[in-house]
Structure 1
Amino acid sequence: MEIWGVTHRGAVRQQNQDSFASQRLEDGRIIALVCDGMGGARAGNVASTMAVDLFMRRFLEQDGESNDQERMQVSAAMANQEVFQRAATDPDCAGMGTTLVAALAGPGEAVILNEGDSRAYHVNQEGIVLVTRDHSLVEDMVERGELTREQARTHPHKNLITRALGAEPVLLADCFRQSMAPGDYLLLCSDGLSNVVTEQEMLYEVIHGGEDESCCQRLLDIALHRGAPDNVTAVLIRR
């Protein structure tokens, strides 16, 4: 299994409040996550960096202690508690939080956890499928039939999320299992990518656009070419 990633502040924002990390485990599997912070001039950066660091530390500490899903949920819950506590006690960090999408990818299956609107896509020769569900106002409106998917992409409230790590004392993250066959990919990204690059464009770049090693950079380049109004982060895992 292989992994690549890139993050960039975009063409408009003065600071990159996205963070990501990845690591190959001793058994050959890969753990990776993307966080997109929010909350004030610097607090978003604090939230995303804290969440990534705390999640990875707790995840690696639990080696052999629990099953994969519990291991990820415990890691995310600890990160949530720490970010929530920091937001509650540090005036500079009041109201901060972060999205989180994490994947533990192995040769047969990936376990994926998400909170907020950072996404995980499963990509192969047959197409691209959004694995996660956004916790956002527009996603709720789509599910109620009030918006189409295309309308949601340009809705003025598309960035309003309904859940975030660090916003509440107890985390209610969703967990998914995705089969992984040889040649399959997982693409993790912040909304700075998914808001400006279509799923068909993602599919093309992953499968047909060129070398896997440069795929994340190609996706970033598309976002930058379109003005990249938000921070952009992409992580690609290949089975």
Structure 2
Amino acid sequence: MRLVAKTDIGNQRAENQDSYRAGRLPDDTAWAVVCDGMGGARGGRLASNLATAKMEEVFLEGVPGVHNEESAYELLCAAVEEANDAVYTKAMENPATRGMGTTAVCAIIQKSMAYYAHVGDSRAYLYHGHTLSQLTRDHSMVQELVEQGAITEQEAATHPRKNLITRALGVGAEVLTDCNSIPVRPGDILLLCSDGLSNFVTIDQMESILEKDDFFTAADRMVDAALEAGGLDNITVLLVEVEAAEK
């Protein structure tokens, strides 16, 4: 596995409330997390940092014991739930931080499978066979409107309530996590990102960068593309490439 990431404050925000962590084990299993904090001055940055730190702790302890789909899902849910507890508990300690929360998208990539989970509108994509496909479904009001047929995908892209999410980590005592998996092959790339990328860079643009750029410069190029398109939010890109065993 190869890993590379880039985060940027963007062109308009006062601070970067995105956070990410990733790692690789000796057996080449990799794990990765991206969080996008919410709560403004009340603690969006604190929420995302707490969440990624707790999820890293859970993954470092638990990933060596992942050997199948069931154990992968159990660990992904445990990581999200423990992060939710950490953020919620901290938020309740201080009236100034109550209501803070964060999105989360995380993954475990092992041998020929990628297991992933998410809460909110941070996304996971898979680049396979020269095609980039979105794996996750946004937990957002606009996504629900699209699924109800009330608006089109094109209208969703510029909808005034685009940033209103229906699920977040840390805003309540419990959290509902979506988990899934997909087979991967050598050459495939898993992309985790905050909406600072997906709201400003099209899937065709991301696909083109992954096709043309070197792996270790692709994250930088995607962030640059988001900045050039306005960069009105924090931007985080994390890439995990599945390598052939001989590499």
Please indicate the TM-score interval, normalised by the length of the shorter structure: over 0.9
Which residue of the other structure, out of 99, 122, 127, is the alignment partner of 2:131?
A: 127
Two-structure CA RMSD over aligned residues (Å): 1.2
Map of 1:137 onto structure 2: 141
Which residue of the other structure, out of 150, 156, 160, is the alignment partner of 2:154?
A: 150
Map of 1:171 onto structure 2: 175
Q: Give the 5 Å matches for 1:1-239.
A: 1-41=1-41, 43-62=43-62, 63-64=64-65, 67-208=71-212, 210-239=213-242
**Contact (CA 8 Å) 1:124, 1:207: kept in 2 or not?**
no
SS at match of 2:21: strand
Query: Runs ≥4 in structure 1, deviation > 4 angstroms?
Result: none
- Note the C-alpha offset of 1:125: 2.5
- Note the C-alpha offset of 1:40: 2.5
- Note the C-alpha offset of 1:167: 1.4
**Contact (CA 8 Å) 2:19, 2:48: kept in 1 or not?**
yes
Hey, what's the Cα distance between the residues in 2 that align with 1:134 and 1:68?
A: 21
**Contact (CA 8 Å) 2:4, 2:240: kept in 1 or not?**
yes
SS at match of 2:96: helix
- Note the C-alpha offset of 1:224: 0.8
Q: TM-score, normalised by structure 1?
A: 0.96
SS at match of 2:227: helix
Q: TM-score, normalised by structure 2?
A: 0.93
- Note the C-alpha offset of 1:74: 0.7
Q: How many residues align structurally? A: 238
Hey, what's the Cα distance between the residues in 1 that align with 2:29 and 2:228?
A: 34
Hey, what's the Cα distance between the residues in 1 that align with 2:132 and 2:154?
A: 16
SS at match of 1:192: helix
Hey, what's the Cα distance between the residues in 2 that align with 1:81 and 1:18?
A: 19
**Contact (CA 8 Å) 1:125, 1:207: kept in 2 or not?**
no
Map of 2:245 onto structure 1: none
Hey, what's the Cα distance between the residues in 2 that align with 1:150 and 1:107?
A: 37
The code of the aligned residue for 1:103 comes to A
- Note the C-alpha offset of 1:72: 1.3
